[in-house]
Amino acid sequence: MEFIDPELLAYCESHTSEEDPLLKKIVRETQAKVLMPRMISGHLQGKILELFVKMLRPKTILEIGTYTGYSGICMARGLAEGGKLITLDINDELETMVRGFFEESGLASQIDYRLGNALDIIPSLEGPFDLV
């Protein structure tokens, strides 16, 4: 399903930095190994998320739905020193893949990846959150 005019998409892609090797790897692995791979955030959404985080400078981000970690890595890249991303997902079948990507990103120490139902986890989290 394409929602963006092809000319607009081409313009956006030509004015955005290239997707780095790790993010390309996440897309490739997601498409090859995961059911419903189009749920991945993707390059342009990832760059926008990173930009928002760089502009807002949040100390703590809560992400509900990790999937394969693409958006989490993009947001963690924008965090200020000492910032933290808490990312929640219910699908434990992806855990090994996701933790591997977080380690490979060099940002695992800033990413608190939790498995379980967000409705059960969120009440136990200590806020405030600067971005959700």
Domains and CATH numbers, the chain: 20-124 (3.40.50.150)
Mean pLDDT, residues 82-105: 97
Look at residue 9 in the predicted model and tell me its pLDDT.
Answer: 86
Look at residue 15 in the predicted model and tell me its pLDDT.
Answer: 93
Cβ-based neighbour number of residue 104 at 10 Å: 15
Give strand pairing partners of 89: 115
Instruction: Considering only residues 106 and 80, tell me which one the structure prediction assigns the higher pLDDT.
Output: 106
SS3 category, 36: coil
